[in-house]
A and B are shown apart, each in its own frame.
Chain A
Amino acid sequence: MADSIIRIRQARKRFGAVEALRGVDLEVARGEVVLVVGPSGSGKSTLLRAVNRLETLSSGEIWVEDTCVTSARADIRRIREEVGMVFQSFNLFPHLTVTENLALAPTLVKGEPTAAVLQRAEALLARVGLSDKAHAYPDQLSGGQQQRVAIARALAMQPKIMLFDEPTSALDPEMIKEVLDVMLDLAREGMTMLVVSHEMGFARAAADRVVFMDEGLVVEAGPPAALFEHPQEERTRRFLDHIL
């Protein structure tokens, strides 16, 4: 793909005796929404975390736009400014209010003027439906609200790419929808998204492509309808039987 914004080539990652990634190739086009599914231990979270180098690869290359993330000389902080990340456990900063959570990185990392950042924070909170929680602390929010704040916090850096690492796995069922709605909205707006999740509803509604991983490898990939209805590989079929 000529217009790939993320290019992963032969990514390998070894944790001691375990090989979490065994040579993964994956490209994500600008504006594309890619959902990565697979059994636990398939390496999907490791792959996602390698994109902003929270995990360093044992070998292989990852490019974000025209910067090689895996190069030791890469300015990783510059790349992380462009790549937002949302975690399974939200990881909001508990000692800061919601607004302070949103404003910390733009003011500290980018040195943006506080007034502009606060204005953007306000708009983002309105967008995720949490304007009334601007001055609340994270522990005063439900899980779904925390995750929406976490998405807004990542967006406050105005990234070009958003990574989602099982964003709804830690949520009570009734809170999943409010988070997925925000993600759906983001996808419609054209954000490039790489999402590790088993939310099939989200996949059908928003994903351009679903990638099935198992044992550190990409087994097959394709548009959600095709992959879900007509999986080519036996392993994919068995996995889908479990979750659909």
Chain B
Amino acid sequence: MTALGPAGDGMRGRPLADPASAMHLNESSLIPGDRETLAAWKIAFFGAIALTLALPLFRPHPFLEILAFVPEGLTATFTVTLASIGLALVLGLLAGLGRIARTTVINRIATVYVEVVRGIPLLVQLFYIYYALGPLLHLNGLLSAIAALSICYGAYLAEIFRAGLQSIPKGQMEAALALGLSRTQALWRVILPQTIRVILPPIGNEFIALLKDSSLVSILAVSDLLRRGREYASTSFDYLEAYTVVALIYLIMTLFFSRLVGLLEERLRTHGRQHH
């Protein structure tokens, strides 16, 4: 889950003291939850940044060296993350459409894909593509990682697309068909634009999860953030220091993106043109 969970989390379990405050909560009940999670987010985010800056100030050795060495892995981390989310979105859209397709064969293929992939741990899928299929596919570590992450997240995104597509009222498709649009035209011009509004926040959350899971590729000799930390630690034996920096960098990135997702969610909530 992201730092900014679904709005309202923060107010759970809080007693509603007087009717006035209960009324206030009722009228704009999302705000207190947001305020609390935002406070927590600020502590975590700015705390992590402060710590990252303070550590090399107080102990230049080894933290300055670690900070000079480890961030080079960001290139690999972002290459893997961005390429994988891009491919996963394409796969997820296709499989999500397949899941609601009326053609049995397509529906079956999409459903089996989602069920199989979601039933196998990501690490096992990584090993499978790199080691088991490696001799066959001749993929290097980076490409294997992107393939495994795309296939895996494609299945998760397929479920998000499916749920999003199914959340659009049936009357929308009917109105489009009644006007003479084909099913394909209705899908692209009427259903999907509405679906995307609904699923942007969950997709953002999947992106953050993928960013974190991209650290698994360090096992395949890809020099990502985690791998760089490991490399530094194994020569200097500063395990605590190296992994602290690695953890802080991941934390800063995920907190940053989760705030973006939160803002997006807020924007869609206040300016969203949702059907009632």
**Chain A interface residues toward B at CB < 8 A:** 52, 54, 77-78, 80-81, 83-85, 87, 89, 91-95, 104-105, 108-110, 137-139, 150, 153-154, 157
Contacts and interface: CB of A to CB of B under 8 A. Distances in A.
Contact of A95 (B174, B180, B181, B193): B193
Nearest to A97: B273
Q: Which 5 A-B pairs have the closest CB atoms?
A: A91-B175, A105-B179, A91-B171, A85-B178, A109-B180
Contacts of B174: 54, 87, 91
Contacts of B176: 93, 105
A80 B177 contact: yes
B175 A77 contact: no
Interface residues of B, number: 22
B193 A104 contact: no
Given A91-B172, A138-B273, A104 B189 contact: yes
15 contacts: A52-B178, A54-B178, A80-B178, A84-B178, A91-B175, A93-B176, A93-B190, A105-B179, A108-B185, A110-B180, A137-B273, A138-B273, A138-B275, A153-B179, A157-B179
Nearest to B183: A77
B104 interface: no
Contacts of B197: 95
Contacts of A109: 179-181, 185
Contacts of A85: 175, 178
Given A89-B171, A104-B189, A108-B185, A94 B178 contact: no
Given A77-B182, A104-B181, A137-B273, 7 more contacts: A89-B171, A91-B172, A93-B172, A93-B176, A94-B194, A105-B181, A109-B181
B276 interface: yes
B169 interface: yes
A77 B182 CA distance: 7
Interface in B190-241: 190, 193-194, 197
User: How would you classify the secondary structure of chain B's contact residues: helix, strand, loop or mixed?
Assistant: helix
Contacts of A94: 194, 273-275
A89 B175 CA distance: 10
Nearest to A77: B180
Given A91-B171, A93-B190, A95-B197, A108 B181 contact: yes
A157 B193 CA distance: 22
A227 B144 CA distance: 75
Contacts of A150: 175
Given A87-B171, A91-B175, A157-B179, A139 B274 contact: yes
B185 to A, nearest CB: 6
Contact of B177 (A54, A93, A110, A139): A54
Given A87-B171, A91-B172, A93-B172, A154 B179 contact: yes
A87 B175 contact: yes
Contacts of A153: 179
A138 B169 CA distance: 15
A80 B180 contact: yes
Interface centre among B176, B177, B179, B275, by most chain A C-beta atoms within 10 angstroms, is B179
A114 to B, nearest CB: 15
A138 B28 CA distance: 23
A78 B180 CA distance: 7
A111 to B, nearest CB: 11
A109 B183 CA distance: 12
Contact of B189 (A84, A108, A154): A108
Contacts of A54: 174, 177-178
Nearest to B190: A93
Contacts of B179: 80, 84, 104-105, 109, 153-154, 157
A92 to B, nearest CB: 8
A54 B176 CA distance: 11
A95 B273 contact: yes
Contact of B276 (A84, A139, A154): A139
Contacts of A108: 181, 185, 189
A162 to B, nearest CB: 11
Contact of B194 (A87, A95, A137): A95
